[in-house]
Amino acid sequence: MAVVFYKDPVKRLIQPTLFSDEAERLARSVAESGKDQRGNLRKNKRSQIRKFYDEVLRLKSEAENEEWDNIHPYVNMLNAKAAYALGRDYITNEFLSFIKGSVDQIKRREDLDVFSNLFEAFMGFYKQYGD
């Protein structure tokens, strides 16, 4: 469930449908992966995903006033937090892949901005497909 931020990474041109079609596809996939056979959401609950979104917003805010080299390690730590949540059976591999695939693309402050916007769009669609 990898998502690619840029259609042209050199020119930093964002995929035109990243915040629309791609965000909706991700939200649907993550929501479906968290449901049991009866269609009840058992993993990837909105409250759990909201914790990750809040952390991304916090990091984005800190990145505005802090040296990027001091923030980047904490962005990378999102992978460890997602792995922990997976180990606790709070999230699915699909959500872990979304976090990991996104974090792996974050090399600069601007990439964190793109991820933050993608996650915002994801959250909007998730309300429709999740809980």
Q: Is the pTM of this model over 0.85?
A: yes
Domain for residue 92, yes or no? yes
Per the structure block, which two tokens stand in for 56? 């991304």
Query: Which domain, by its residues, includes 74?
Result: 6-129
Domain for residue 99, yes or no? yes
Residue 56: name the closest of 98, 87, 9, 22 by CA. 98
The DSSP call for residue 13 is E
How many domains is the chain built from? 1
Mean pLDDT for each 10-residue chunk of the chain (131 residues)?
88 96 96 90 93 98 96 98 97 97 97 98 92 65
Longest pairwise C-alpha distance within the chain:
48
Domain for residue 1, yes or no? no
Domain for residue 79, yes or no? yes
What is each CA distance from 4 to 26, 35, 100, 102, in whole angstroms?
Answer: 12, 26, 12, 8
